[in-house]
Structure 1
């Protein structure tokens, strides 16, 4: 008897030790899942915020660069014309974009508002304004971005962008001032949709918000000098993220910031940590509940076994309890199959369909069709009829062969021949149960396959194009690190490194442009009625002609040429073509730009723009590939470029519902013709044109 009691105690002790181990593993696993869930939620939010700040930074950079171009233009014209400068006429001509910069003016050396593009009532003394005084004590030509101030000329809050006007002898001649409505930024930030407590802002390094948006609330002028990001920037960390309570509204947020290169400004985006972790909190509670249920099951099983050992005579009662537990587990499994996103089909002992879960019905769009009771051969034929010809279903026999090891191969994928692409991964599991012989499961991997394909194509192309400049940078940098050279040689090596780095930056910038155009299509395009002649004249004046080369020669008709287009995107496309014309005619020759209106007898009236150079030209094979990404007609690498310019041109012109034609002869030059729909083509009357400014093909 003592031996039996000792054996029983040892068995019970081992039983509860195993239960404790299982409990420990269960809770360790739950804690790991909760930790991973929180880390993933924060990582995803950090990635999203990084992308949003990158978009906001690009938006601010474009805005301030545009403002700076206007300021420099007015600065030069004022020094040339003085009080004869007509800012109102420049606004009407479109030189000044009044939608973005509603107020543009000149403050003379005494601080009086001398010129403006809008009427001025009385004399306005602005000598006490910060954006005027800052230029009195400094000879710097840098652009100053003010805090939001209440404009005395307009009576509205605005951000003032100013530059000093210096006479040729260095004397102070006044200040050029361009006003931007803070709402221009907050309206853009509202489109980012960061939730009720989500925040996007543009701060100066003085800690004052130029524009701040929280949910649907617009703010500006907020004081946030004590925010951690300013300390980080002061230490040289120009981009980063952190979590803290806002010094403005005390809301705890996950923050990501980026300093604007060349400006004393920083863009910042933040998500309320409660919003970021909302899904994590729900998942955590569910995991705790599941862990508690599993723990209870483990404890119940251990207790049941203990009771079984203690009361062997009650074997029947113990067996009944085990049966009830089995039924509970079956109910749980049935519930899991019902809500699972994967499709399941179980077969009975005779290998006939016995159960199909809802996910399978949804994946295969079988509706009310009944398959229960059909054998596996008939089921295989039914599924094969729904597959695309490119990915036929080889039948359950193929899956059996893979399970038995007769055949080895990759996972089985099928594509359903129905509306919309749907790729499914199939697998088969055998069962030793007397009621279930096998289970077929299907998982929707459509998104995974699309992402894998796009990723592979992008990585292959981008890696190929970035490898050459990267090799040059690495090689020259390694030589500089290990060898001593004179200053001339060092400068030559550094110049090569700089040139290759700039090439890599250009490739990445143009890749981002292409990605943005392809992702947004025409949603970022602002179609307006464009007068083409002024746009082309401005383009010719602003284009930096290479040294020793003639300016762009324009041939324009006397009558106006109107078309519906996004002026900025059209200008970008034309600049890419003009740049290629100069680059690929290294031996000189005039670059011609001709524009004309297509005759009404044409297939559809419109406007054509043709750029002709006298360069190296292309073969027929090169012409056919000219608009491919990363393709360059000059394989020697002597002519700088990324091979993405014409791809961007093609995307922009096609989104305008236009056409691009190339005509080239090797050694004699190239002619690029861009044809776009005219204003009359797009709308039958002016009322409709005002109501919908997209091209007809896009409406």
Structure 2
């Protein structure tokens, strides 16, 4: 897995989650971000956000071309799989093997009998000999079963880990001295296996880091290419809109100069030409807006959707007044992580549609509400308008899709496509619940 400098997951070998996943609060991310050293860090066991299993994250930091922190690369190992490296070793009835960090937290444990080994994630006593010496054998009372035990331990070189194997003194005495030698061999072989595994892991992380640096270089090239493309879009929009403005201006001048001598057909032709220029100008602007969504880093600013709705109502004040409509917020809207401009545009497009597609002779009414749905917020924008037939529920989110003629309702057919793109960029989904003549409810989710 690769996380960026803000903790957002950029790549994983797990199936892609339905919403962005952030690891900035995890121990391994904070250690790597705040440390000046570039070393492998073996984290305490945590519940994996993707695997939903107890995992041991092993991480290395990533640096950009200027040597600045650019994120981390992580290889997470299931805590219950570490001891599968040595399947043929016999722990005995009450034997236990434990991998412990030098921070005294258990990383992994194995035992044939429940209640003989500490659970991963638990802390151990700081006065144990394995925190003072690199290896050895000692006798002490077990921290879990309180039995008199013989412990053999070995610290892993270059890694802040110690392998501890123990068995009860009673079982060892019952099986004579050879079993005691087997216990020492067991400690050595298991620690060697884990050390080899850790070295392979370090090599893998180093290789992945090198590849990630190459990806960073390609990403820089892509960013430059995107910047050039965006600049081209701005220039193209100016070059396209300038002739359109000239056409509109000259049509107006032409109407003033010869308008009195034109018959009704001639005036209609001028109006058709002017309206076409205006629609083309609007289309160019909408296309530019659609193309800008999704540029830059993943949206993760704190956005108050209540404040966003205040801005929407201010922007649409003229349309609300002209239609005699009402726009209300039911309850309190949440604060989410995202792009403020894009989320405001999302709400404005949906509210604007509710005002536009109202039933003739009936004042439009649009309500906005939110409810918690597990790890997401479900937001709803409901109106009392003309509704949408079920067979068009998917089609309306396509670009340039219109269900009505321009004579009845103005627009370019891009508004709902913009909404869909914004919602999906923020890790959510959008849908419409409606029937023809029954109003519409647009529902979309955003990560909580």
TM-score over 0.5 for the pair = no
TM-score range, shorter chain: 0.3 to 0.5
**Higher relative contact order (Cα pairs below 8 Å, separated by 6+ residues):** 2
Answer 1 or 2: which has greater helix percent: 1
Q: TM-score, normalised by structure 1?
A: 0.26
Q: TM-score, normalised by structure 2?
A: 0.39
Answer 1 or 2: which has greater strand percent: 2
Question: Bigger radius of gyration, 1 or 2?
Answer: 1
